[in-house]
Each structure stands twice: as C-alpha cells, then as structure tokens.
Structure 1
C-alpha cells in the first residue's frame, strides 16, 4: 500500500503536469496498473484491521471482563493493571501472549466511556474574588546582551481576566513564593482560591481523587494569605484553561519579537506596566465592559494584604574555614567570627540572608550562574588583625572597590615598612566611623602631601572628635570670685632670680 505522499505525487504529475503513466511508473519504480489504480484515489486509503483475533484468550476473555467489571468500582490505586490481570489469567491456565490481554483491557475500558461525552467540557463561571489561576511558561529574552531562557510566572483572576506576569531566571520554590507576593501586591488583595498544576514546588504527593499533600513551605504561604490551594486533576489542563490560553497570548504580545532589557528588574517593571495596558481590552464574556472595569469590581472583593510573606527557603549550613557558605553552586562570605559555626541560610528570589538566633549577620544580592565568589571584605577584617599580609593577595581585597582617595593612600602606605599592618589599623578604625569618614581623612592627607598611616589616623580623630562647647555653664559655687590676671612680668622676675643664683 502506497502512502498518501506518493499517491498525491502520481495524481499531480499526471493530472497537472500531463506526464504519461509510463513515465511516472518508470520514475517511481511502480507498475503501470498501480499508477492507473491510484489515479482514481482521492480519499486517504489504508488497511485498518477491524478485529484483532485472539484465539488463545478465547474462554478466558469472559473471566477477564468479569474482573474488570468488579474492579471498576474500586479506587484507582486498588485496581489491577493489565500486567497483574495477565498474571492472574496465567494462574487460571491461560497460555497466550500478554499483548492479547492488554489489547482486550484497552478495548473494554474504551467501551465503558459514553461516546457522546468524549471531548466535551462544562463551561465554568466564577464570581468576583473567587479564584485565580497560576502557571509557568518558558520564554527567550535578551538580558544585558545575553540571550537566555527564562521562566515566567502567570497569574489570572478568573472573573475579571486581569493578568499578572513576572520573570525569573529559574523555576524554584523561592521564586514561586516571591511571585505570589508580587501578584497580591499588584492585584491589591488575595482571592479565595488559587488553582495550580501539580507542581513539585507546590504538591509533594498526589493522593486519591482531589486529595493532595502540599509542600509545607507552600502551605505556610497559603496560611499567611489565607487562600485555599486547589490542584488540578493530572492531565486536565482545561480546569485552568484561562491561564493556559494566557501563556500563548503573552508569548505573542510581550515576547515576540524578543524582549531586550538591561536587568530582570527593568524587565519586570515593563511586564507589570504592560499587564495594566492590556487590561484596556474588552472583557471576553462582557463585551460592553473592559477587563480593567471588571477588575475594579473584583478588587473590592479581594481580601486585603496585611503584611508580606517572608518568601524564602531555609537551610542549615556550616561556615567553612574560609568564611564561606555554598548556595546554588556559588559561595557567599560570612563574618569571620562565625567560621566553623552552623548558620541558617535563607534563600530569597533576589538575595541571600545568613541568620543566627534570629539575627541577620550577613546579606548578599543573589547571583545566578556557577562557581562565583561573592565577598564582603569587611567580613574578613578580624582575620587581617592577625594576618595583615593577606591584604596584598587576599581574594576579598584584590578587587575591593574602595573610594579613589582610599586606594591612593593604600598604595602608598603598603610601600612603607610594616605598611600592611598600618593600613589594617585604618580599616579597623573605618569600621567604627564609616568608610566615608576614612575617605575624607585620606583626601585631607593627600592634600597636605605627607602620606602616612599616622597622619591619616590623626585626621580621622580630628574628624570624629566631639565638638567643644562655646561656653560652659557652671554652678555659682564653682565660679571664681577673683579672676586671675595675666602678668608676664612674673616670668621675668623668676628668670632674674635664677640668674642671681
């Protein structure tokens, strides 16, 4: 049997190009009767076996169907698979192939479905403030000249159709938590329910029916905002069809052609603005009103946000001897006082916080990528007190972005004897009074022309010394009754007496 592409070529070459049957048969290595036959073929042809014989299944088919009929009323988890049913028939004496059993099971299950409802759906109606649908999509963008694949979180209020989208470098739980914070701030409130796929960052386990075991950290978010999480039936995307359609529309509206921005912050500001602009379109169910007008009605029904959820994922880690902790393939510095200790690492979508006993001991902007070292040089000052030589080649200090005047003083002081220790003392002083004060002291030192650590320290003390009061008020008892008079002749008198002796 020829495929339809060859049949179409035969008909096109003979009926359109007026090529002879002999030429077509010779070129396609076919017989002329075959060519003549397929010149009459218009509809798709193909042999489909209407019934697959299963002679060995025979009398066992009734047993198999009775098992299937009995088990159809059991929960899905308790029903036997085709493989288990095959093993059961073998114990009854069946000696045929597994394929026959599998085919019979499939045909029996298909026959149980009412043909009239296949592909049919129930239209859904939502009231204001009732539900919001959530989904992720994958897009291509240019961030600071680098084309990369990003993840976009989609929210859609089911009644008003108001959408909100926000972009992230990846799809992780802290991103999910942050996206909800942003969405509720954008909407100005929280709906009663949020509808999800069975995301691993949201659902830990799918149980019987609609029962789910949700992730504990995600449930902390739901309990904070008091919304009900609802997970769709697997492979039933129509249960959140609005946001499914939104994914395709947003790709066309916002990411075609490719979006180009300097940073994720600028991209997300633009996306938020575009979500408001697109709300000027007509509402799909209420053509006389816009999405924005319906949103204003729905906003009044949303639950107000009392406070923002702390959207981080926490893990306990031990600080290395080099004062670093490893997070997501990158390393971040910790104050040297905590080397070797266990700290709580709180991973947010855009930052890393290190906490001990509820106190934040360090904070860094989050980096994405691999094998990056993120230092705060001030974390290593206690180490410099004991090892000042590390100032010259220590990784945290090599690319330290110090003010220009401070760099100039450093370069000159380090060339002097014991200059590394002297400059470390300046840094220790700056930790107390601030880097800006050290910068001013260095500028004054450079102006005077004598550049040493002692001169800079003297300028620091002058800058930080408390101001002297113009007049001191004293109680009456401490006031002098007779104020002394300056008499320089007394010194001459004393000098004269010494001269006589």
Structure 2
C-alpha cells in the first residue's frame, strides 16, 4: 500500500510540472526513486515472496490418503505416515492443507492418480484376466496371465485353464523367461496364492504367502503387493487386457490350448514392435537398447510347489494319466517317467532324473487312447502283413503294381509275399526307381523277390540306361540323384533276402 501511495503522489506532482528535485525533497525520497516511479506507467502490484512449506513435497500423497475411499485418513494418521517418510515439520501445516483439500473435494476426481515411472530393470507388473474363448469347438473359460516391464512396456502373455497357485507360479516364471530376465521388483495383486493379508488401515506389514516368498527368492526378485481395491496402482498391466480382448480374443477360434498360446505369443510379439502411446517409444527397441542390460539373470531351474508324479510306460508305449492313455516315444516303453499337469491342460513329461522330454495336451473325456504315429517310427513295420493292405499299398505306390500282381498270380503260391518284400525296399530306393525295376522284371519274367534283388545288384544301371536311351536324354538323367549307394545293399543283401 505504501508503494501505491508514493506512486500516486509522484505521478500527480509530475503532472503539475514539479521538478524532480523538489518532488524528492517534498516526499522525502531519493531522486532515483522518483525517476523510477515516474517511468512506471501502471500502478505497482503487491507481490509476496513464496517460501515452500515442508509439507509441499508430500502434497500428492496427502491427496490420495485424504480422498481415496480405501484410505480416508484423518490429520493425525497422515502426520504419522509422513513422519515415517521423512517429514520433520509440525502437524499444523498438514491441517491447513487438509482444509483446502476438504473444501475442494468436489473438484478433485476420485480417479485422480499420480503416475509413477521406474528406471529400467526395477519393476515388472503381473496380473491376469478372464475371457470366454472358443477352443476345440466349445466355449471355455480361459485365464490370460500377463506381465509388463514397467520401463520399456515390453509385454508377455500365456493362457491357462486354471488360475490356482500352481498356474500363477508357473506363469510368473514363464513370462519372465519370455521377457529374457528378472526385475528387482514384481508388482502384484492380492490373490491368496500370493498375499495372505494386506490391510492398509493397519500398521502391520503385508503378509505374503510362504510359497510366493520362496518363488521370489528363487527368481531373485521382491514381491510388492499393490493397494487393495486400487487397481490404478498397477495401471500399466491393467490397460493391455482390454486391447488383448478387442484385438485378439474376439472373433477368433482355436483348435487347442497350445494353439491359443502360440498365436497369443505371436500377437504380443507384434504388439511389442509398435510405438507405445505413453512413452512414444517402441517397447522392443527400448528393451534391447536399455532395459535388457538392467535385468537380473534367469534361474537355471523352475520352482515347483509339488513333486512330480511317477508313471510307468506300458510295453506298447502308452502312459496312463487321468483315465486316458497317451503315446510317448517307444524308446521309453516299460520305463518310469515323471509328469505334472500345468495350466490345467498341459502334461509335461521328464525322465526320473527330471530331464525334460516333451509336452502333451490333456484331452477331454475318459478312457481315450491318443496315439502319435511318429512315436513308433523306430519299430514301425516296413510293410503291412495284411494281404489286402499289401495289395492296396502296392498298387497305390507303383504304376506297374497292378500289372505285377496280375503277372505273379499263378506263378507263386502267395504273390503278396513278394510284393511285400518289394515294398520293404522303399527304405533304400525311391518309388520311381523301384517302379522301373518292376516294369523291367515283368518284361523279363523275373518276378520273385530274389530275381528282383539280383536285377538291382547286376542290371540296375543297364535298366536306367535303357530307359534314358528310349527318351534320348541319357545326359539329363541324374542317376546319382535317384538312387542310393549300393554299398549298403551289398552289405545287407543276405539279411534283406530272407
């Protein structure tokens, strides 16, 4: 106010043409002050220097504690919590802040959130969502487990038919494996599989599930449970579930859970190659350039809550699990294998020394037998012993097959015997080559298997040469490309002739 009155007095005397020296003497101020007030054409505004309060740096947290329904702390509780965080002021400034917050509560959205960004390698967020998905022709409840690196926003997902503790622990390990390393902290929700008690209105520490703590120790990370009923604490992992549903789940059907997982991982891989709307960076590039170096190494083994179960493989190569039989590679016949069921659909098999062998998909129904022909290749018969089947295989494999069987009928007591022995030669020769031999054998009335093998040993190159000459293209015939080395046959002729 004093400055305003002085400015007004100087301006008035200056308008009356009073000299600056006289104005200075009359108002008892220096000539420089008079000159300054004359140059100031607008009245001076009052301003007060701002000195930050000790409570200002905690203002965002105070707003959350006061306005969030899950907290609604009073002034005393807020003061005690701030002291734990390093506040060394008195309680009075806190009450003044709370008065302003209470007066403006209606203007503060209940969804008001302070965004937190963490350095690379510090944090990953883990959660899951439930979807209705068409798998193998029927709608099933499927759980999508997801993890995101908080810094780079690189994501990983997997799908399960269960969301029990076993599935949750397996998913955390699989997703860390997909991301290529472990973060120092894993932000989680509060399921009983991970958190026993998390009451923010008490001063007790969060009580974690003992198995969850063992998992965290195995991985080398530390669990951090988010605030109950406050999903925005882990907002980075919450948002992607809507995108996954809209862009991947809806409108798609899947033959099996394994296919769902394979296609889901491909979808996330593509998504990680697109710029993130918040960071404006491509997650894969951010990860490769910065975050991967900050991650902790993955453990060499998987943490498991339960011991593996043992089953003996039958002599015909089947393992019996939950009333159904599944074929395994025949080399494991009569041996004991270890197994476990993961995610409610995947059977993982390993040796007694717990060396991983393979995975199978758990099938619906009871008393089913599920066979993979590839598992029996090591002992597979070279040709069928069924006479009707031998004839069908022979005529469908060789163009001259039907002509051979007609020519052999009446010559041999059992033409199918010789046909079967010729089919066994497919292990050594291509069908086109044997077909030429059969054609030559018919023309020269050498139809028994011994004569045919003799033709192969002695006259094979002549047969091929004659065939090439008739086409005037012997130079274009790649003999080396259509036959195998006869050395093998020479060594085993006595065996194969029997």
**What band does the TM-score fall into relative to the shorter chain?**
0.3 to 0.5
Q: TM-score scaled by structure 1? A: 0.46
Q: TM-score scaled by structure 2? A: 0.46
